């Protein structure tokens, strides 16, 4: 079991995701996977009426973020992403951009 994953080098992770895309869940338009603010802004601009309260609050959290707050938000994004995409997680670990802690013995690999 993987107990936890740790983001290492953010710039390395960003480079790793180059070319990865995501599709708008409402209209299917294609976006770069990073930075996440691209698709978030699209949801707000084009699909605001279809968003739930939780989605609207999440969207508002990204507004005006810069500096350390933006870096922290990107770190959080990567942790969530890597929990959902084992294929990307493996690539990130192999590239040394991320480490994982194993549950059985607690050692970090």
Cβ count within 10 A of residue 16: 19
Write down the least CB distance from residue 106 to Zn ion, Å.
43
With respect to Zn ion, which residue has the nearer C-beta, 47 or 91? 47
With respect to Zn ion, which residue has the nearer C-beta, 42 or 91? 42
With respect to Zn ion, which residue has the nearer C-beta, 22 or 101? 22
Write down the least CB distance from residue 58 to Zn ion, Å.
16
Interface ranges with Zn ion (CB under 5 A): 24, 26-27, 29, 46
Write down the least CB distance from residue 61 to Zn ion, Å.
19
């Amino acid at each position: 079991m993987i107990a936890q994953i740790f983001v290492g080098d953010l710039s390395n992770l960003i480079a790793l995701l180059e070319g990865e895309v995501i599709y708008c869940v409402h209209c299917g338009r294609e976006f770069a996977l990073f930075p996440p603010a691209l698709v978030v802004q699209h949801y707000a601009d084009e699909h605001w009426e279809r968003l739930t309260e939780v989605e609207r609050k999440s969207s508002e959290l990204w507004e005006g973020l810069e500096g350390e707050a933006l870096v922290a938000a990107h770190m959080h994004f990567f942790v969530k992403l890597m929990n959902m995409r084992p294929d990307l997680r493996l690539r990130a670990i192999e590239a040394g951009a991320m480490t994982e802690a194993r549950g059985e013995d607690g050692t970090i690999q």
